[in-house]
Structure 1
Amino acid sequence: MSVSLWCEEDQSRTEAASSQLRAAWDPTVSGRRVIQRLLRVEERYAPSVLYIALIQREPERREELAKWALEVCCECGCDEAVFPLSVSLLDRFLSASLSLPVSPYCLAAGCILIASKLAECDNVTADALCAAAEYSFQPSGLREMERVVLATLRWDTAAVTPQDFLPHFLASVEERGDGGLLATLRRHGDTLAAMCACDSRFLGAPPSLVAAASLNCALRGLGNKGPAQLAVICEALAELCQADLVVLQCYSDMIEYALRQRLSSGLQQGKEEEEVEDERPGTPTDMREIDF
């Protein structure tokens, strides 16, 4: 009896399918019981210690792939759960193989394709991923890479990510909070957690700790709570993720430092681009020599 590992899907996207409806938050599927379950499961999907040590020596290549995956997910309008899950699949695959394939971007695209199928009703197409990589690989090669990733991970792909903890942590620490504030906290927490997924310094950190630290940083940044309130919420988050309060504060400081680094880097790059634009002559000398 032959068993096929191919994932057969309809690559066409219709206009009717593109308009998705998100189900409302159901408080009955939240609470301490769900958080405890997620805490037990998250250890199962952690990358190996050897892989983490190897990445820390030369993190540039892994961070480059993660940033590319983030850009592709944003361009394709993927759900916020797709990117962290795709990075988790990428890390777990590399942790198992300890070597990059011939086309690393094909691997990243294959992880995005798998994550999209798991997290979205209308998954991103193979053609769109090939176009995002400027057709450095073909759809047939992408589907082959998808099969290799699934076989390597033994089809155990529904990993726990920081985004899985965020709504449950919010529901626990802000039960009586304003709805608009909760939406803002969730959005900021998603952004900070995505930044941590791109930063190899947070590789190996439990997703629950990353989620708690991201929310803690988001609360600090909003500045609508006093020091006493922030201290109480920080203690509650530490209890929820079963981490020491000092460890949570340390990771929160690391996230804030990483955020300042990225903001200063972005400002510096913007200034350099403006200087180059100002120094560039309005009409190049060679233009006057061209016979139109």
Structure 2
Amino acid sequence: MSVSLWCEEAEDDRSLDQSQTELRAAWDPTVSGHRVIQRLLHVEERYMPSMLYITLIQRDPERREELAKWALEVCCESGCDEAVFPLSVSLMDRFLSASLSLPVSPYCLAAGCILIASKLTECDNVTADTLCAAAEYSVQPSNLREMERVILATLRWDTAAVTPQDFLPHFLASVGQRRDGDGVHSEEELLSTLRRHSDTLAAMCACDSRFLGAPPSLVAAASLNCALRGLGSKGPAQLAAMSEELAELCQTDLAVLQCYSEMIECVLRQRLRGGLQQGPTEKDEEVENERAGTPTDMREIDF
């Protein structure tokens, strides 16, 4: 009796390209729950940058934020997975935390972190040539590969860091249990919108040095909390209950979660205000008085 180990995940169509037949595994609810969250909470402390590095960055955050925003642009233009950017920023912060000095070519460092993060999280990773082109060929492929070795040696090959995107699906699974069939959106649409908005807000926090010392679990919970409030699909009592649940999941005080949620909304207002100043200003007063929230289209944010 012959046994075939072939996994038939796609139709047997010879006309399909190889890129079109790549499938991602569906979300497995058995790998979620409090046990997984507790494990992530225990591990996240190991990947936090040092307090000395955080203090130094707070004094002069412009350079670090410039590199983070450049990494975000490169990841978006290259079509990278949403997990690549936060992981690349985490690698960059940990490398700078260990060395406490920028290399000769800072963009080579950022590109090297993107390359490593892409290799860890994607099947078809971004190429070195693509990263060199994004850096306007100020970095050569040979320099990028050498920087990759330096980063790996400095971090001792411990590169699978915990990021806010690791917590979001588990927090969403817990929040999804409180759905209330309001008929506005289906459950899948609502969770998909919450995930997209939370990912965007968490990416915004990665670009802002004020969130550098915050644990990834707190950033994920605060981003999801802001997304829930911004969508306006829940009542005050439901939002309060979900905020309490998120604070319990990330093992923090509710006041701390609310504080970080307000910080995210403040940064979001600044981004939106900066984008509006570049266009017509007829509704500036209306936008100024409007309650901060997650917009329907997150592309309005100018990163």
Q: TM-score when scaled to structure 2? A: 0.83
1:203 aligns with 2:212: yes
Q: Does the 8 A contact of 1:18 with 1:122 survive in 2?
A: no
Mapped to 2, the partners of 1:83 and 1:216 lie a distance apart of 21
Deviations 1:108-148 (A, max 9, x none): 00000000000001000000000001100100000000000
Partner of 1:215: 224
Q: Matched residues, percent identical?
A: 84
Shift in Å, 1:176: 5.5
The 3-state SS of whatever aligns with 1:101 is coil
The 3-state SS of whatever aligns with 2:277 is helix
Written as runs of structure 1 = structure 2, the 5 A alignment for 1:52-71 is 52-71=54-73
Q: Does the 8 A contact of 1:188 with 1:218 survive in 2?
A: yes
Q: CA RMSD in A?
A: 1.2
Structure 1 spans left out of the alignment, 5+ residues: 1-14, 273-292
Partner of 2:22: 20
Mapped to 2, the partners of 1:51 and 1:68 lie a distance apart of 20
Shift in Å, 1:267: 1.3
Structure possessing the higher radius of gyration over alpha carbons: 1
Partner of 1:6: none
1:105 aligns with 2:114: no
Partner of 2:97: 95
Shift in Å, 1:173: 1.8
Moved more, 37-46 or 167-176: 167-176
Written as runs of structure 1 = structure 2, the 5 A alignment for 1:5-44 is 16-17=18-19, 20-44=22-46
**1:247 corresponds to which letter in structure 2?**
V
The 3-state SS of whatever aligns with 2:23 is coil
Please identify runs of 4+ aligned residues in structure 1 that moved more than 4 A.
none
Q: TM-score when scaled to structure 1? A: 0.87
Shift in Å, 1:89: 0.1
Mapped to 1, the partners of 2:22 and 2:47 lie a distance apart of 29
Shift in Å, 1:20: 3.2
The 3-state SS of whatever aligns with 1:269 is coil
Mapped to 1, the partners of 2:178 and 2:271 lie a distance apart of 33
Mapped to 2, the partners of 1:136 and 1:270 lie a distance apart of 33
Mapped to 1, the partners of 2:143 and 2:20 lie a distance apart of 26
Mapped to 2, the partners of 1:18 and 1:48 lie a distance apart of 43
**1:109 corresponds to which letter in structure 2?**
A
Shift in Å, 1:269: 2.7
Written as runs of structure 1 = structure 2, the 5 A alignment for 1:1-292 is 16-17=18-19, 20-175=22-177, 177=179, 178-270=187-279
The 3-state SS of whatever aligns with 2:151 is helix
Mapped to 2, the partners of 1:186 and 1:137 lie a distance apart of 35
**Going by fraction, where is helix more abundant, 1 or 2?**
1
Query: Aligned pairs, how many?
Result: 258
Mapped to 1, the partners of 2:261 and 2:107 lie a distance apart of 31
Mapped to 2, the partners of 1:18 and 1:130 lie a distance apart of 26
**2:213 corresponds to which letter in structure 1?**
G
